[in-house]
Structure 1
Amino acid sequence: MKKYMLFIIPVYLVYVFGYFYVVLPPLNWHAPEFWQFLIFTVGPILVITLIFSLTNQGMHAFDRLKGKFMKQTVHDATAKTSNWKTAAKLSAIALAIMIIFPFASSLISSKIFHAKEYANRIVVKDVKFKEIPEVDFKKTPIIDRDSSIRLGDKVMGNMSEWVSQFNVSDEYTQISYKDSVYRVTPLTYNGFIKYFKNKGNGIPAYITVDSTSGKTSLVKLKDLGLDGMKYVPSAMFNENLMRHLRFQHPTEIFGSPSFEIDEKGRPWYICSTYTYKGVGAKKSVTGAIFLDPITGESTKYDKGKIPTWADRIFPESLVINELDENGSLQGGYWNSVFGQNGVTLTSEGYNYLEKDGDIWLYSGITSANADESNLGFVLVNLRTHEAMKIATAGANETSAMKSAQSEVKNYGYESTFPLLINIKGNPVYLMSLKDNGLIKMYATVSAVDYQKVATVSSDEGLDALFKKTLNLLGTSSDNISAESMKTATIVVKSIEKLNVEGNTQYYIQAENNEIFKITFTTKYENQLVFLKPKDKLNITYVDTEGIKTIKEIK
């Protein structure tokens, strides 16, 4: 038996270490992966012990019944039977704990029993739309991730000395950098053989894409006075980023790291750390580990002490889940399933905007019946977890995308997921229109009235779109104050209609010969379609440089 054990124990230890080395589970009882680790490593030993115990227990009981032993031998057999019984019981109890406890803990800690706690995972404060700063196109990410990937691949294709040795990662993290917004992504090793060929010098560069202009750069680390990155996701063995992190922080629960750069351009991998309620329930961020991929050194920060240059501490998927539970569980779990009274959810997508030097996640808020309107929208700071909700009813993002696509349907362009921006106090959706992944046009759609659509070619730029949107909204480039709004009752003398770049403009001459204009919208469809001379209108308008633009028909 000892001979077998001398062989079995080393093999078993190699198996346990090999499983840990490959799977990298956190040694933390809150993590489901920890219990999987126990089941696949300790579990087989317990099963073998249980089977062996029951088998030997039965054999000794059978021998006693046959009466083949002397009194002393029968006593020894009874003692051995008792030992096997104990071993069987302990093995069965341990197996039951490993299998049942994680599921029981997860169920007891679930939102079925703790709906309010789940609903309050994120604190969302209600604010006015004015909290959203006026749009600054120098900080507005109009270049989406797919377009960034194309731009990055194009730059890499021009680097003939590297194109066969390295690939471009598809990560493209959205960050705030040098008073603008960028997407950044590292190069990766191009397979097993190329890793061994280049691992001595590491990954030599990363790519930045300006999300406002599309300007793309391949940044060589040697130009920054830095060595190559050795601890990266595409590295192997002990230089693999996740393995290196796990060996440094064996008890931490962390997810996928994100690639970022600080204000000096130095690369970092930032890995958020988590905990759960019970086993695997109510996931929440506890902080982040900052790993220098050049040296391999790492530092853990609590969530309230994160360096301000970092942008992505709270991952998008977790934030969306928190927002959905905040909107759906306020009335309890069963209300979220059946009655759904007051239940709200995020819309089918999200985007980013820059505010106060941080990256904020944007998503619309809609009712549980998923109609074509939004109740408002929400912004969440991905570094601090600050969240605010703005109640601005209007069309949802999908409707806005369809409106923009309909405006250029002869081209067959597809819209990116929009971003809600503030143009002179008006909530407006901003999006790109693409043809086979290439940005061809920019568009804005009024969030209040999705029939109001402005488009320009990408060559004209966002400044042209801004001016066109102002004209569409009947807004001058100066802020409209309450004092500049005027009211009047007019009697219609004549009406003229003019199509301006796809939008129908009504020019109404009053009997006192004053001329007013208004863009056709579904909001005033009944009044405008059947308008005729001698009709009386009560209007609110703004007079800008002699142009009287109707803002409201009462």
Structure 2
Amino acid sequence: MKKKQKQHYTGKKWIAALVVIVLIFAAIYYYIALPAINIHNPELWKFVLFVLVIAFALYALPKTTFTGDRRHPVNFSGSYKTKTFKLLAALIVIIAAAYFVGTLLSSPIINASKYQKLMKVEKSKFTKDIDQISYDQIPLLDKSSAEILGARKMGSLVDLASQFEVADEYSQINYKNNPVRVTPLRYADLIKWFTNKKAGIPAYIKIDMATQQTELVRLKEGMKYTPYDHFGRYLYRHLRFKYPTYMFDDINFEINEEGVPYWVCSVKKYNIGLFGGQTVGRVVLCNAITGECKDYDVKDTPKWIDRVYSADLLVSLYQYHGTLKHGFINSILGQKDCLTTTNGYNYLAINDDVWVYTGVTSITSDQSNVGFVLMNQRTMETKYYEIEGAIEDSAMTSAEGKVQNLGYKATFPLLLNIDAEPTYFMALKDASGLVKKYAMVNVHNYQIVATGDTVNDCEASYRSLIQSNGISPDEKTGETSQKTITGTIKKIAQAVIDGTSHYYIVLDESDLIYDVDISKHLDTILLEAENKVTIKYTEGTPATVIEIQKQ
């Protein structure tokens, strides 16, 4: 019998086999990790290092010969002297060193002034930019409350509840000038994806943050490109194969004015060195139903889109602006003129854009703000308002103290303009997360706290409190916000708010409701329907009566 010839896997054959193995590893890694092919992408550097390390490890393994079914290791003592071995080792060292140096040269330690200028901040006037807006434009709920409403709505839908769950997106947007949160459904598990993938995800949930109305919006055609799909329909893989060089950051669920669902995909832009100074350079719109994508420069983003810059990115950019004014070392040691944001934020709708609100305090401050900022999530426009007052945590504690017998917890506040007076507004929730009351707290004096079962009741009580504390908006602003009307009483009704009696009056000549604090205008108890009166008031919902006289 002829003896079997030994097969030697050395030299060119071994290198060819090594290349094939490395390419297989690289393809699997790329398909799963989906790194952007971009020199500014740290993940790409890690990907290249991963491939080189795998190649190095495989090349360093002892080569083998095979005789029949017996395996004998070959002496490998000289392999470290080969050119391939030295080349792989050198590449690993060079790329690792370049990554380390690139990271260092991109950091705020070396580029403090560049980081400080990433965000342009404009000083502005509170009463000029923030009008007294209608309460149907104010988000009265926070995300956690929206999640409760969404879960309840989903639980009532027997035909969908067994196959789908509510996703945790709950993006806050302006939809037809109303603040809403929207979130898609998602497949309950992988098996449910296989059984439902042909039709796609059939609906999304829309919650009006002012009225708490919750609606399941059913689609004529299901969503087939989402983060909850798999393989080629997995949203991130779909985007990566279309835009291999784009570094996607925040991917946000929104609907356009016709209610069509889209994914708003912000593309990172690094402005400092290789990996530093991240902002947003482009925006990709991906239709969640068809997968069709449109690519925009950030300045050309359609106006119906509300969220290009995430709240966390905007806050971090303002942190650089506020802390690095005198360099990195000063931000750590001396901390002269260092300002920082407070430990939370909320959203405010102004001119059909969503703005992130957060307070600004000295980095060494205890419980006081020096001002606050509004940051536009579509354009990154930032405005700073120099208003001293209580920090949000203090206002929240003060509001909770007002209802301590009920154990309600306050949401992070919004900042409103009530008679030119900066005012914290917040919801008060019970242990189950449901909104039970509303509170308003004066920014300058957080001891001035008003609560109410409705927003209108809360506002009426607050207006009475600021007037009784001698706060006159007209004197502070130099503007005349008071108005006068003479008319016939159409209807008059009594109510008690926070222990104080109020009369509410409607005139034949006006659709406004006029709120009269009886403790200040005792003669009002003598009035009745058909009486003719002259009322001096400030506008609001309801209007606050400053003076009332019977004619």
TM over 0.5: yes
Deviation at 1:11, TM superposition (A): 3.6
Question: 1:85 & 1:262 partners in 2: Cα distance?
Answer: 61
* Residue in structure 2 matched with residue 93 of structure 1 by the alignment: 90
* Residue in structure 2 matched with residue 231 of structure 1 by the alignment: 225
Does the CA-based 8 Å contact 1:47-1:91 persist in structure 2? no
Deviation at 1:7, TM superposition (A): 5.3
* Residue in structure 1 matched with residue 355 of structure 2 by the alignment: 360
Deviation at 1:134, TM superposition (A): 1.4
* Residue in structure 2 matched with residue 437 of structure 1 by the alignment: 433
Q: String of CA shifts for 1:406-463, please: whole Å, max 9, x gaps.
A: 0000001011001111111000000000012111111000001000011011xxx212
Does the CA-based 8 Å contact 1:429-1:446 persist in structure 2? yes
Percent of pairs identical after alignment? 38
* Residue in structure 1 matched with residue 265 of structure 2 by the alignment: 271
* Residue in structure 2 matched with residue 44 of structure 1 by the alignment: 54
Written as runs of structure 1 = structure 2, the 5 A alignment for 1:13-412 is 13-49=23-59, 59=77, 84=81, 86-130=83-127, 131-222=129-220, 227-276=221-270, 277-412=272-407
Deviation at 1:135, TM superposition (A): 2.8
* Residue in structure 2 matched with residue 469 of structure 1 by the alignment: 462
SS, match of residue 36 in structure 2: coil
Does the CA-based 8 Å contact 1:484-1:543 persist in structure 2? no
Task: Choose the corresponding residue for 2:450, options 451, 454, 459.
Answer: 454
Larger mean CA deviation between 30-39 and 353-362 belongs to 30-39
Question: 1:359 & 1:445 partners in 2: Cα distance?
Answer: 23
Deviation at 1:97, TM superposition (A): 2.0
SS, match of residue 406 in structure 1: helix
Deviation at 1:138, TM superposition (A): 1.0
SS, match of residue 20 in structure 1: helix
Does the CA-based 8 Å contact 1:169-1:186 persist in structure 2? yes
Give the aligned residue type for 1:38.
V
Does the CA-based 8 Å contact 1:28-1:251 persist in structure 2? yes
TM-score by length of structure 2 reads 0.80
TM-score by length of structure 1 reads 0.80
Cα distance change on mapping 1:483 and 1:285 into 2, 3 Å: closer
Question: 1:402 & 1:214 partners in 2: Cα distance?
Answer: 25
Question: 1:93 & 1:138 partners in 2: Cα distance?
Answer: 64
The RMSD of aligned alpha carbons is 2.9
Deviation at 1:483, TM superposition (A): 7.1
SS, match of residue 405 in structure 1: helix
Deviation at 1:283, TM superposition (A): 1.3
Question: 2:314 & 2:16 partners in 1: Cα distance?
Answer: 51
Tell me the matched-pair count.
470
* Residue in structure 2 matched with residue 494 of structure 1 by the alignment: none
Deviation at 1:31, TM superposition (A): 1.0
* Residue in structure 2 matched with residue 551 of structure 1 by the alignment: none
Cα distance change on mapping 1:408 and 1:188 into 2, 3 Å: same
Q: String of CA shifts for 1:437-492, please: whole Å, max 9, x gaps.
A: 111111000001000011011xxx2122222221111189x973637799xxxxxx
Give the aligned residue type for 1:285.
V
SS, match of residue 474 in structure 1: helix
SS, match of residue 250 in structure 1: coil
Does the CA-based 8 Å contact 1:202-1:228 persist in structure 2? yes
SS, match of residue 133 in structure 1: coil
Give the aligned residue type for 2:98.
F
Question: 1:4 & 1:59 partners in 2: Cα distance?
Answer: 16
Q: String of CA shifts for 1:155-209, please: whole Å, max 9, x gaps.
A: 1111101001000001100001111110000000110000000000001000000
Deviation at 1:14, TM superposition (A): 2.3
Cα distance change on mapping 1:297 and 1:471 into 2, 3 Å: same
Cα distance change on mapping 1:430 and 1:473 into 2, 3 Å: same
Deviation at 1:47, TM superposition (A): 4.6
Question: 2:43 & 2:206 partners in 1: Cα distance?
Answer: 35
Give the aligned residue type for 1:385.
M
Does the CA-based 8 Å contact 1:432-1:439 persist in structure 2? yes
Does the CA-based 8 Å contact 2:368-2:389 persist in structure 1? yes
Deviation at 1:253, TM superposition (A): 0.5
Cα distance change on mapping 1:50 and 1:280 into 2, 3 Å: farther
Deviation at 1:42, TM superposition (A): 2.5
Cα distance change on mapping 1:267 and 1:170 into 2, 3 Å: same
Give the aligned residue type for 1:441.
K
Question: 2:258 & 2:209 partners in 1: Cα distance?
Answer: 19
Deviation at 1:113, TM superposition (A): 1.2
Question: 1:31 & 1:306 partners in 2: Cα distance?
Answer: 24
Question: 1:166 & 1:294 partners in 2: Cα distance?
Answer: 17
Does the CA-based 8 Å contact 1:258-1:270 persist in structure 2? yes
Question: 1:479 & 1:148 partners in 2: Cα distance?
Answer: 35
Cα distance change on mapping 1:255 and 1:484 into 2, 3 Å: closer
Does the CA-based 8 Å contact 1:46-1:94 persist in structure 2? no
Deviation at 1:58, TM superposition (A): 8.8
Cα distance change on mapping 1:109 and 1:8 into 2, 3 Å: closer
Give the aligned residue type for 1:144.
D
Deviation at 1:349, TM superposition (A): 0.1
Q: String of CA shifts for 1:376-408, please: whole Å, max 9, x gaps.
A: 100000000100000010001000000000000
Question: 2:33 & 2:481 partners in 1: Cα distance?
Answer: 65
* Residue in structure 2 matched with residue 545 of structure 1 by the alignment: 547
Does the CA-based 8 Å contact 1:49-1:91 persist in structure 2? no
Deviation at 1:8, TM superposition (A): 4.7
Q: String of CA shifts for 1:39-59, please: whole Å, max 9, x gaps.
A: 212222135447889xx9995
Task: Choose the corresponding residue for 1:427, options 411, 414, 422.
Answer: 422
* Residue in structure 2 matched with residue 508 of structure 1 by the alignment: none
